[in-house]
């Protein structure tokens, strides 16, 4: 009887060990099925361009599809909430931008906090350009400031709406240069670009990959970079700060987040694999050609960066007096 019990115990232990090993082996194979990458803007902008480049590189590395889903709406909170509410298994990820740090300073009530998701990595920083219609009377920042002072509220700028990274630099420039530019909101980068190319507006703002194809046909003219440094992609284009010293430099950036309860080892694998992908010659060259600065920070570094950025935006947005209800 004792021998039979011993065999039963050994058998149960073997089954349990097999289950543990099997579970570990399955976990080690992450990802073994399609991964969903949610982008918080529509197709046609810098988020879409960079998100699809990363998805393609990871698909090739993992040998499973990384499926891109554009989920625009509610000032990027729709996409972020979808990531936060997803099953925390590493199979739903979200791309985020500077809007993640800007929103808490603008909206009286946010549907989440930075504690509700897990930062994975800051991928890139992307210089933001002010672009002019070639026929507009605003072919440099100096021209823009002078013309705007002489023609109050006549210079039109296509943006993606109040609080967007395409709108805030204009608000800050207005105060720094003591001018008043007229913002006209459009639904994303592509319609804003179309409006400026057609002459419907004088100016718009965008990142390099969105407008670079238009440079050969001279359909748009980059007149300034909003960041603190010139862009490696177009080093001859000055910064706004060079002409208006009191202007605060602003860049766009992109990062990746996962649901809060995503296992630490999955976050670590994501960070390491993404770091490997963006360091590969093909993807690195493409990102650099598109005017990006590659970052590839650790999850902890990205969390600290988010905290700093969120704090940084409080004063300029308070100075602008921008406060809205999230819709």
- pLDDT tens by residue, the chain, 327 residues: 444 444 444 444 444 444 444 444 334 589 999 999 999 998 888 899 999 999 999 999 999 999 999 999 999 999 999 999 999 999 999 999 999 999 999 998 999 999 999 999 999 999 999 999 999 999 999 999 999 999 988 999 999 888 999 999 999 999 999 999 999 999 888 899 999 999 999 999 999 988 998 998 899 999 999 999 999 899 999 999 999 999 988 999 999 999 999 999 999 999 999 999 999 999 999 999 989 999 999 999 999 999 999 999 999 999 999 999 987
Six-digit token pair at 193? 């670009």
Sheet holding 293-294, edge to edge: 66-70, 35-39, 92-97, 252-259, 117-126, 293-294
Strands 35-39 and 66-70: parallel
Taking the model in full, what pTM does it have? 0.85
Q: Is 110 exposed, middle or buried (0-12, 13-18, 19+ CB in 10 A)?
A: middle
174-193 as b/e: b if 16+ CB within 10 A: eebbebebebbebebbbbbb
At the second CATH level, the architecture of 128-243 is 3-Layer(aba) Sandwich (3.40)
For the chain, what are the domain ranges? Answer: 33-126+251-320, 128-243
Q: Which CATH architecture has domain 33-126+251-320?
A: 3-Layer(aba) Sandwich (3.40)
């Amino acid at each position: 009887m004792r021998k039979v019990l011993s065999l039963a115990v050994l058998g149960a232990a073997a089954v349990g060990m097999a289950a543990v090993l099997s579970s570990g082996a399955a976990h080690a194979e992450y990802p073994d099925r399609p991964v969903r990458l949610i982008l918080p803007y529509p197709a046609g902008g810098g988020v879409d361009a960079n998100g699809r480049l990363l998805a393609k590189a990871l698909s090739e590395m993992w040998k499973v599809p990384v499926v891109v889903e554009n989920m625009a709406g509610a000032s990027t909170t729709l996409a972020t909430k979808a990531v936060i509410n997803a099953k925390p298994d590493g199979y739903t990820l979200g791309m985020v931008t500077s809007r993640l740090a800007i929103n808490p300073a603008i909206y009286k009530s946010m549907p989440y906090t930075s504690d509700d998701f897990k930062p994975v990595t800051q991928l890139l920083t992307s210089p933001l350009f002010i672009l002019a219609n070639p026929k507009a009377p605003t072919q440099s920042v100096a021209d823009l400031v002078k013309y705007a002072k002489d023609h109050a509220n006549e210079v039109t700028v296509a943006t993606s709406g109040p609080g967007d990274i395409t709108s805030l630099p204009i608000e800050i420039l207005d105060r720094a240069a003591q001018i008043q530019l007229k913002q006209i909101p459009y639904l994303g980068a592509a319609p804003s670009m179309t409006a400026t190319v057609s002459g419907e507006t004088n100016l718009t703002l965008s990142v390099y990959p969105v407008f670079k194809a238009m440079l050969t046909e001279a359909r748009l003219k980059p007149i300034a970079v909003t960041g603190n440094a010139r862009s490696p992609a177009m080093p001859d284009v000055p910064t706004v700060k060079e002409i208006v010293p009191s202007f605060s430099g602003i860049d766009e950036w992109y990062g990746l987040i996962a649901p809060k309860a995503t296992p630490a080892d999955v976050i670590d694998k994501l960070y390491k694999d993404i770091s490997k992908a963006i360091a590969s010659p093909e993807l690195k060259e493409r990102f650099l050609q598109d005017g990006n600065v590659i970052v590839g920070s650790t999850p902890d570094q990205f969390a600290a960066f988010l905290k700093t950025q969120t704090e940084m935006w409080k004063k300029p947005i308070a100075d602008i007096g921008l406060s809205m209800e999230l819709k």
